[in-house]
Structure 1
Amino acid sequence: MRALNRLSATGIKSLGEGKHPDGGGLWLHKRKDGGAQWFLRLTVHGRRREMGLGRLADVSLKEARLAAEKCRALVREGKDPIKERDRQRREGARSDNTLRSVAEDAFEARKAELRGEGKAGRWFSPLELHVLTKLGKVPVEEVNQQDIKETLAPIWHTKADTARKAMNRLNIVFKHAAALGLDVDLQATDKARALLGKSRHQPKNIVAMDWRDVPAFYASLSEPTLTHLALRLLILTGTRSKPIRFLHEDHIDGDVWTVPAELMKGLEGKTGDFRVPLSNEALSIIEQARPHARDGFLFPSSRKGVISDATMARLMERREMAERPHGFRSSLRTWLSEATSAPPEVAETVLAHATGSAVERAYRRTDFLEQRRALMERWAEHVSGSGSGKVVKLA
């Protein structure tokens, strides 16, 4: 029996289901559904490999034999035909491995980790606006530290936070490219940082109102508008603006507001929600907001969705105030330090900040709800002007 060329072009048509050898490791696999596939069995560096050579409908017997002989020749040269084919495919697709295409692929791979799967665009926008406009069409393997330095130099000192985010995202893109088997310099971003030097930008903290002045401002929010009510509730609860804007009636059970993890900074993608104890004053504000509710959301916009992120800040801007809504979290935290005996871990939990090491948090199975309930009631009394002004002591 011949070692090679056992099959014939005409005889193939009558072959039944199963695997049929042509010799030299070349086989034809006929399936139950009538389809058929060529594959080649090889031993490469002592390892048994199987390599698909295409469908019978696309590859003739003659073509399959030519392909098999080329692969056997590579084995004789000490090369792995499968790896060689993959390498050739990568090189053939090199025009598609631009920085933009790899960056978009990296973004797709990380969407599950991002808040709202990155639909707001905040993860990708630093790359889109400050890197891809200049380097997007360049093959990722050709991007070096000098390219990165020249691209980010215009914003390195003036928009330091944006530049930092763009650099960090770019580092992730390079790691993703390396995982795809592309020949990139994984130290390119570190080298670019060295070329750019330390940023001269001095970050500024959000201006916060002294906790002693909060009651007067709170009293000025006397109109039953959504903006006034939302800002009052933000002050009373110490939460960020997003949980307030997306507050839904289903999130409230009695005097506890359970904020879904996806609305909490730092909890996105995690299963744990955050419970907020509601003071009597906060419950009163919620009741005043209920008549405005649409689709269950207590703070809907005039058109669709909920009020915008800038709504409360604009009110303070119109009053020519330097402070911003986020600063009330600082006001509350300072009050907790100066006017209460709250332990640091309780005070930090009020603001949904993680404290202690990962091990400590794993063993501490409490969110201090009862302690926080007492504190938030006294904070509400302070901001609404009904408090005694005495230091709050926790039992």
Structure 2
Amino acid sequence: MLTPKEIRALKPKSKRYQITDSPGLALRVQVSGVKSWVFRFSRNGRVTDQTIGHWPEISLLQARAIVRKKQRELEIEPTGSFTVRDAFKFWCSKKKGRILSYRDERLRLEKYVISKIGSRQLDSVTPPMIIRLMEPLEEEGKASTIKRLLMRTREIFDMTVNAGYLSSNPLSKITKVFPVPTVTHMPAVDWKELPIVLSQLEKLAPQKYRVLFYFSLATLLRPKEVISIRTEWITEEAITIPAEKMKMKRIHRVPMTPYLVSLIEEAKNIRKNKRSPYLFPASSANKPISSQALAKWMHEQKEFSGRLVPHGLRTIGRSWFADHEIPFEVAEACLAHVVGSQVVRAYQRGDYFAARQKILPKWHEYIQHCAQCAKVLNGHSDNSRAETT
């Protein structure tokens, strides 16, 4: 079978010649250098050649798809054409580096769709076939996974229609088969309950988890962003996190405050691996602590399990901002959220750093106040136990 590289290398000769790609498809090279696709078929003992277009206006994969369609129409045993795996590779080539969740989406598709029907011809895939693939996930209650898979599979087929490999998308309505998944927000408590939360933290947490908790709460960064922080990013003015380490792929600066300085110093002092470039290092010098380390510890504590997760600390902070009349754009900037339409973002490129320099100290004062209340609560708790005894 031909390859695009071989087709490009074909040169005209003194006479017209023809090269077979696969049963029913050949490429004819004219003396002038024009290359034409030819569909060859036999009916009633007579062989007929039918020109279906020129290369490169019609690509190799498109020509194979056209021939396959004609063979099906003529009830001729069809030959190999564009497969689901081919379409998936085409999707990968267009989406890699363009969507934030590319790696997770690719692995999910490979596991649940491509590994099952990757070798099938694209035009042989039907909605019932995809529905059957999703049924085991539905039984497991993985509605969100089904939603993502159906969305991306439909997108793959849309792209093949636009590329000319299919005339229409048979999966255009498939997302309506399954119910819309119920959105469950990350567990978080009201900001007014923070003294109680910190009281439990002070009683239960080893020092490294306690510092990691307070640092996450103070900076309002996502867990992966917290553990990525390197000491070289820290200056007297701010912690500056490179774009590639942020979810939204934009540089983010966290204004420095006296409280944040004290947390950073404590984090540095308790590091066992002093040579690590990371503020929260793992045992290896080249790795930070796992982004799930704090989440795992909190899940193991009955006081936190099902009630609060590290990501929920951002919710506590955002709710506190809302109830203290912090401007919407400034509050969102504290969480490194991207807000506004594409046009708005084209003009508004600031990060509200000056405004955040005024707001974060107030947020940190509240955290410190809650920490003091936590110590008082723990003291009352100890006295109560003593009196009971």
Q: What TM-score do you get using the length of structure 1 for normalisation?
A: 0.70
**8 Å Cα contact 1:141/1:184 also seen in 2:** no
User: In structure 2, do the counterparts of structure 1 residues 41 and 179 end up closer, same or farther at CA, with 3 Å as the change threshold?
Assistant: farther
Which residue does the alignment assign to 1:10? none
User: Match of 2:316, as an amino acid?
Assistant: S
Partner residue in 1 for 2:155: 172
CA contact (8 A) 2:240 2:254 kept: yes
Letter in 1 for 2:84: L
Change (3 A) 1:224 1:154: closer
Q: CA deviation at 1:89?
A: 5.0
Say yes or no: does 1:297 pair with 2:278: yes
**Alignment check: 8 A CA contact 1:378 1:387 kept:** no
Query: Any conservation in 2 of the 1:149–1:193 contact (CA below 8 Å)?
Result: no
1:203 aligns with 2:183: yes
* Per-residue deviation, residues 38-78 of structure 1 (Å, max 9, x unmatched): 96355xxxxxx63399xxxxxxxxxxxxxxxxxxx97xx76
Structure 1 residues 25 and 149: CA distance shift in structure 2, 3 A:
closer
Shift in CA distance, 146/388, structure 1 to aligned 2, threshold 3 Å: same
Percent identity between matched residues is: 24
Tell me if the contact between 1:218 and 1:232 (Cα under 8 Å) persists in the aligned partners: no
SS at match of 1:80: strand
Deviation of the 1:88 alpha carbon: 5.1
Could you tell me which residue of structure 1 aligns to residue 5 of structure 2? Answer: none
Instruction: Structure 2: state its 5+ residue gaps.
Output: 1-10, 19-27, 38-47, 69-77, 374-389
Deviation at 1:113, TM superposition (A): 1.7
- Residue pair 1:237, 1:278 contacting (<8 A) in 2 also: no
8 Å CA contact 2:113–2:133 kept in 1: the answer is yes
Matched, 1:284 2:276: no
- Deviation at 1:197? 4.3
Where in structure 2 are the equivalents of 1:337-376 lying within 5 Å? Answer: 337-338=322-323, 340-376=324-360
Q: Aligned equivalents of 1:346 and 1:20: distance in 2?
A: 66
Counterparts in 2 of 1:215 and 1:257: CA distance versus 1, 3 Å: farther
Q: Which amino acid is the alignment partner of residue 80 of structure 1?
A: G
Q: Which residue of 1 aligns with 2:172?
A: 190
Amino acid at match of 2:146: A
The aligned counterpart of 1:80 is: 53
Structure 1 position 332, deviation (Å): 0.7
Structure 2: how far apart are the matches of 1:375 and 1:232? 17
Q: Which of residues 137, 150, 160 in structure 2 aligns to 1:155?
A: 137
**CA-to-partner distance for each residue in 1:334-391, whole Å, 9 max, x for gaps?**
11121x23111211221122333332333234221122122111111111227999xx
Measure, in 2, the Cα distance between the counterparts of 1:365 and 1:182. 41
The answer to which of 173-182 and 220-229 deviates more is 220-229
Distance 1:212 1:386 in 2: 9
Asked if 1:111 corresponds to 2:104, the answer is no
Partner letter of residue 51 of structure 1? K
- Alpha carbons 2:15, 2:30 under 8 Å: kept: no
Q: Check the 8 A contact 1:146/1:192 in 2, yes or no.
A: no
Contact conserved, 1:218 with 1:384, CA < 8 A, in 2? Answer: no
Letter aligned with residue 198 of structure 1: P
Question: C-alpha distance in 2, partners of 1:152/1:184?
Answer: 25
For 1:79 and 1:139, how far apart are their aligned partners in 2?
Answer: 20
Q: Which moved more, 1:364-373 or 1:321-330?
A: 364-373
Distance 2:136 2:197 in 1: 40
Assess, with a 3 A threshold, how the Cα gap between structure 1 residues 342 and 300 changes in structure 2: closer, same or farther.
Answer: same
Indicate yes or no: 2:246 matched with 1:258.
no
**Corresponding position of 1:22:** 14
Q: Offset at 1:239? A: 1.1
1:128 matches 2:110: yes
Query: Offset at 1:254?
Result: 1.8
User: What corresponds to 1:102 in structure 2?
Assistant: 87
Q: How many residue pairs are counted as aligned between the two chains?
A: 322
Secondary structure at the aligned position of 1:131 is classed as helix
Please name the residue that 2:300 is paired with: 318
Amino acid at match of 1:346: V
1:383 maps to: 367
Query: Would the alpha carbon gap of residues 94 and 302 (structure 1) be closer, same or farther in structure 2, given more than 3 Å must change?
Result: farther
Correspondence for 1:243 among 205, 225, 229: 225
Secondary structure at the aligned position of 1:189 is classed as coil
Cα gap change, 1:385 to 1:219, in 2 (>3 Å):
farther
Indicate conservation of the 8 Å contact 1:142/1:184, yes or no.
no
What secondary structure sits across from 1:333 in the alignment? helix
Cα RMSD between the aligned structures? 3.6
Question: Are the aligned partners of 1:255 and 1:283 in contact in 2 as well (CA < 8 Å)?
Answer: no
By how many angstroms is 1:213 displaced? 2.4
Q: How far did residue 275 of structure 1 move?
A: 1.6
2:59 & 2:327 partners in 1: Cα distance?
Answer: 63
Kept after mapping to 2: 8 A contact 1:294/1:300: no
- The secondary structure found in structure 2 opposite 1:324 is coil
Question: SS in structure 1 opposite 2:34?
Answer: strand
Distance 1:280 1:144, change over 3 A: same
Range that drifts further, 369-378 or 152-161: 152-161
AA matched with 1:371: A
Are 1:274 and 2:252 matched, yes or no? yes
Q: How far apart in 1 are the matches of 2:150 and 2:110?
A: 12
Q: Which whole-Å CA distance do the structure 1 matches of 2:148 and 2:366 have between them?
A: 39
CA–CA separation in structure 1 for the residues paired with 2:264 and 2:357: 17
Does residue 51 of the first structure (1) align with residue 35 of the second (2)? yes
Cα distance in 1 for residues equivalent to 2:59 and 2:201: 69
